[in-house]
Amino acid sequence: MNQPSPSRGLDHLVIGVADLDAAGEFYASLGFRVGARNRHPWGTENRIVQFPGAFLELITVGDGTAIPPHGQHLFSFGAFVRDALARDQGMSMLVLESQDSHADAAGFRQAEIGDFEPFFFERQATRPDGSQVRVAFSLAFAANPAARECGFFVCQQHEPQNFWNPAFQQHENGASGLAATFMVAAEPLAQRDFLSAFSGAAAIETADGGLRLDLARGRIEVLTPGAADARLADDAANRAEPRFAGFAVTVPDLARVEASLGRQGVGYRRSERSLVVPSGAGLGCAIVFEQG
């Protein structure tokens, strides 16, 4: 597989939840500002946690009657989210930024990591003052046969001035950015070629047998089950299929976050430079606060 250049930064993470409003309340209890409920044309619904240049997409199926099936050259976002959520809650898709979705789709085809047509959609978004604005996106999908439960695509914004909003990026916990996403695989090295081709970044083997890819924004880490258990308190570390385990955000003051978690009664594990809310307490997704 050929490696594209330059590297793409983290754009957003798709995190499936059974109850969108309850998930929004949970993330708010962790000190995040959670956006209003939005609806996709095919019926999935989301709420957004936004950082500069990146965001978390909490998503549920809602009325899924308009979800199209996958096709020969059609990757159905809605179908993937629905099927992933039928397995369990948690992160199911990794999304990197795109400046040109058509060029990226052609690059994925050339690199033999995807042969899908770009997908365009638009929806209405709500500003802090309650007004409605148009947001629009084009997506280019890739496919990783070595991680079939993990979705991968890039996202091009067509109305970025309507989507990104500094007011939405102010969080009570002080989170200032999406720092990392974590994947768990019994054989991390089997993910190297795909992730390098998808991201445009070099995949470096770590001392504990994992992989690390430093991107234009944030990083991807592929952990062994043992490392995931040790670092993320991952209660499903020994599942057979490679999967996404969670993410990290950067915060200025761990003590402040720790005090908030204690007040909310949220279980966590502390190390010298991070706090981890395990997936068992985090709606199927490990949430890491890193000192930054």
Instruction: Name the token pair of 158.
Output: 């067509």
Cα–Cα distance, 42 to 129 (Å, whole number): 27
Cα–Cα distance, 224 to 154 (Å, whole number): 25
DSSP 159-194: -HHHH--GGGG--TT---EEEEEEEE-SSGGGGHHH
pTM recorded for the entire structure = 0.95
Backbone angles phi, psi at 115, to 5 degrees: -135, 65
What is the pLDDT, as a whole number, of residue 2? 45
67-87 pLDDT per residue, tens: 999 999 999 999 999 999 999
What is the pLDDT, as a whole number, of residue 235? 67
- Domains observed in the chain: 10-169 (3.10.180.10), 177-291 (3.10.180.10)
Local confidence pLDDT in tens for the 292 residues of the chain: 444 457 899 999 999 999 999 999 999 999 999 999 998 888 899 999 999 999 999 999 987 678 999 999 999 999 999 999 999 999 999 999 999 999 999 999 999 999 999 999 998 888 778 888 999 999 999 999 999 999 999 999 999 999 999 999 999 999 999 999 999 999 999 999 999 999 999 999 999 999 999 999 999 999 999 999 999 998 665 677 999 999 999 999 999 999 999 999 999 999 889 999 999 999 999 999 999 8
Instruction: Name the token pair of 74.
Output: 């059609």
Residue 109 host element (H or E): helix 101-110
What is the pLDDT, as a whole number, of residue 5? 52
Say if residue 190 is exposed, middle or buried (CB neighbours under 10 Å; 0-12, 13-18, 19+): middle
Cα–Cα distance, 180 to 213 (Å, whole number): 10
What is the pLDDT, as a whole number, of residue 131? 87
Whether 194 and 220 have beta carbons less than 8 Å apart is answered as: no
For residue 203, list its beta bridge partners: 213
Which amino acid is residue 13, in one-letter code? L
Instruction: Name the token pair of 292.
Output: 């930054």
Cα–Cα distance, 10 to 191 (Å, whole number): 17
Cα dist from 249 to 112, 148, 150, 164, 211, whole Å: 32, 26, 21, 18, 19
Q: Which are the contacts of 177, defined by CB distance < 8 A and separation ≥ 6?
A: 51, 52, 53, 54, 217, 218, 249, 250, 292
Q: 80-100 burial, b if ≥16 CB within 10 A, otherwise e?
A: bbbbbbeebbbbbbbbbbbee
What is the pLDDT, as a whole number, of residue 4? 45
What is the pLDDT, as a whole number, of residue 66? 87
Cα–Cα distance, 135 to 223 (Å, whole number): 35
Given the structure tokens 């994925």, which residue do they identify? 108
Cα dist from 213 to 93, 129, 139, 219, whole Å: 17, 39, 22, 6
Q: Is the peptide bond before 6 cis (omega within 30 degrees of 0)?
A: yes
Cα–Cα distance, 54 to 96 (Å, whole number): 9
